[in-house]
Chains A and B, each alone.
Chain A
Amino acid sequence: MKVYLITRTYGLHLHLLKSEDYDMLVQGKIDLNKLGYNVSIEKNSVEELLNDIVRKFVNRILFLEKVAPEYSSFFRAFLERLEVENIKAKLRYLHGIKGMEYYYPYEFLIDKNVLISLNSERELIEHLRKTPLDIEHHLKRLKGRIEPILLVEVLLDIKYYEYYFSSLRNLEKTIFQMAYLERIITLIYWYMVLGEEQVNKLLSICNATRLRMKEISRILELSQEKVKEYIENREYTHLVEVAENVFIRKLKKLVLRNKNNMFFVYYYMFSSYTEMRNLERIILGRKMELRPEIIRGSLKILC
């Protein structure tokens, strides 16, 4: 089944958008409905467009699950990043002013209607209790040390990567390497918001691997001073830009050496995810009438 999955993935990979497609989309020379999507940037609202592109991404991953159910936990854990974003959004809606709530169209651990109906952070934490994202135990230990909303968000990220890593146990080490880099990119954000000491304290309390500045600078191929400068100036976007470029470079390099194993499936999954993110940026950019060069500059091209 593994060989069949990889073979299918090769075929599916051909359907992903290319750099020229993005160029035409950015310039408005072509619409999404001409590229295999069911919506039009001109005619549909942002919400409808996002729902469609996210659904497409989810369906692509769920198709892989159908082809090779034995890797289901890997596929589901990969998709779970969307649900983590939804939970974080719900948390902010609970703390913020009441208004329209809007989420990614993906549910696995928590039913979307249940998520919308939750009225307090307490209820949300209770609903997560029976899932791999259970943070109740850590939350009780850490309450009062950090702003509640931040604490829940950082714990969700830590728990998500624990869950994600556990799904990679029987897969190639190279996938784990890339997933580890994904985790670093996420943790850089928390470095910026909470500081190195606080993040490492949280990681050790959660029995997760700690992250040192030295390691970040080595992986991102930047000097420690440069990383510190980015973090002190709170230039998250710039640092993540650098980190993502390193990530893509490594991903492209590794895929050349791992064409016939599960790494290619991971590469396809990440490419699909990148396509979704790129299309989201193009949609938002075009709807907000941003200059094409700004939109183009924000895209990550894998294919």
Chain B
Amino acid sequence: MSLSEIRFLPVSRGTLIRLKQKLEMIERGKSVLEMRREQLVKEIFLLSRKLSERANIEHEYIRALEDVSRLRLLRGDINFHSMVSLVTPPKIEILPTSVQGVIVPQARIFEEPDLSKINDPEFLRVFKRLWRAIRALIDIANLEVAIEKLSEQLAYINRIVNSLEKSVMPMYKEYISYIEERIEEEMIEEFVKLKGFSEAKERL
């Protein structure tokens, strides 16, 4: 039953009972959504705290890149290029993962880069450092995506709670009170009618 249809419902006790049941269900749903909202906010705060490391990780990544660039500079491009060809790149896949019931795409490292063929100690050191920084960046990226998706979900729940609070529930309450008034009026009318009948009967 859509909200606009409520106005066309017959004014009766049955309708009143049905509407009250619906309102009760909506209130229950709203409180469930509010609980979920709190849960998501808590989770977002928890994840956000870990994001504070981002500046350090980015700094470390830049330092590692600088080391790689400096080595490329000193050893020459042919040497660097051929040395890089000895590295088997890592295997990273994007998997949908559930975070607090929200589907979040997460990058998962299936295979670490294989550096076993690199025998040059300096190349090995800088490549290892770079990979450590990249791995940390991937973790941070996963966190950021999770926060983004949880925030989207939070915004969606907020919209629903707001619409329930500001639009649906007041409308139901208004119509319930209207029906209640109408039923009361009908009851008084009935009572007056019955009183009129009984007085007429007495006069006869």
Query: Is this pair of chains taken from one and the same complex?
Result: yes
Per-position 1/0 for B45-88, Cβ under 8 A of A: 00000000000000000000010011111101111011101111
Q: Secondary structure at chain B's binding surface: helix, strand, loop or mixed?
A: helix
A281→B66 CA distance, assembly (Å): 14
The verdict on A10 contacting chain B, using a C-beta distance below 8 Å, is no
List residues of chain B with CB within 8 A of the CB of A95: 86, 117
The count of A-to-B residue pairs whose CB atoms sit within 8 angstroms is: 79
B117/A294 in contact, CB under 8 A: no
B85→A97 contact, CB < 8 A: yes
* A-chain residues with CB within 8 Å of residue B152 when the two chains form the complex: none
Are A290 and B119 neighbours in the complex by a CB distance under 8 Å?
Answer: no
B-chain residues with CB within 8 Å of residue A285 when the two chains form the complex: 69, 73
A residues in contact with B89, CB < 8 Å: 97
The DSSP consensus for interface residues of chain A is helix
A237 engages B82 (CB within 8 Å): no
Contact A149 B117 (CB under 8 A): yes
B87-104 contacts to A (CB < 8 Å): 87-89
Q: Taking CB as reference atom, which chain A residue is nearest B117?
A: A95
Instruction: Give Cα A281 to B70, complex, Å.
Output: 9
When the two chains form their complex, are residues B77 and A284 in contact, meaning their CB atoms are under 8 A apart? yes
- Among candidates B69, B71, B79, B81, residue contacting A237 with C-beta atoms closer than 8 Å: B71
CB under 8 Å from chain B, chain A span 80-102: 85-86, 88-90, 92-93, 95-97, 99, 102
Q: Which of A95, A104, A284, A298 gathers the greatest number of chain B CB atoms within 10 Å?
A: A284
* Residue B14 at the chain A interface, CB threshold 8 Å: no
For B78, list chain A residues within 8 Å (CB): 50, 85-86, 89, 102-104
B74 engages A237 (CB within 8 Å) = yes
Across the interface, do B82 and A236 meet the contact criterion of CB distance under 8 Å?
no
Q: In the docked arrangement, what's the CA distance between A86 and B77, Å?
A: 11
Is B82 within 8 A of A96, CB to CB? yes
Closest CB of chain B to A50's CB: distance in Å?
A: 6
Which A residues are CB-close (under 8 A) to B81? Answer: 89, 102
Q: Which residues of B contact A90 (CB under 8 A)?
A: 82
Determine whether the beta carbon of A96 is less than 8 Å from that of B121. no
The minimal Cβ–Cβ distance linking B41 to chain A, given in whole angstroms, is 41
Which chain B residue has the least Cβ–Cβ distance from A89? B82
Q: What residue of chain B has the Cβ atom nearest to residue A91's Cβ?
A: B82
A88 to B66, CA, bound (A): 25
In the bound complex, what is the Cα–Cα distance between A50 and B71 (angstroms)? 17
Say whether B117 contacts A50, CB under 8 Å: no
Contact check: which of A50, A88, A295 meets B73 at CB < 8 Å? A295
A147 beta carbon closer than 8 Å to chain B: yes
Question: Could you say which residues of chain A place their CB within 8 Å of the CB of B120?
Answer: 193, 236
Q: Does B184 contact A (CB under 8 A)?
A: no
Interface residues of chain A, those whose CB is within 8 Å of chain B, are 46, 50, 85-86, 88-90, 92-93, 95-97, 99, 102-104, 147, 149-150, 192-193, 234, 236-237, 277, 280-281, 284-285, 288, 290, 294-295, 298
* 4 extra A-B contacts, CB within 8 A, seeds A104-B78, A150-B119: A92-B83, A102-B77, A147-B119, A236-B120
24 A-B residue pairs with Cβ-Cβ distance under 8 Å, sorted by A, are: A50-B77, A85-B78, A85-B79, A89-B81, A92-B82, A93-B85, A96-B82, A96-B87, A97-B88, A97-B89, A102-B77, A192-B121, A193-B120, A193-B121, A234-B125, A237-B122, A280-B77, A281-B73, A284-B72, A284-B77, A288-B69, A288-B73, A294-B70, A298-B73
Q: Which residues of B contact A (CB under 8 A)?
A: 66, 69-74, 76-79, 81-83, 85-89, 117, 119-122, 125
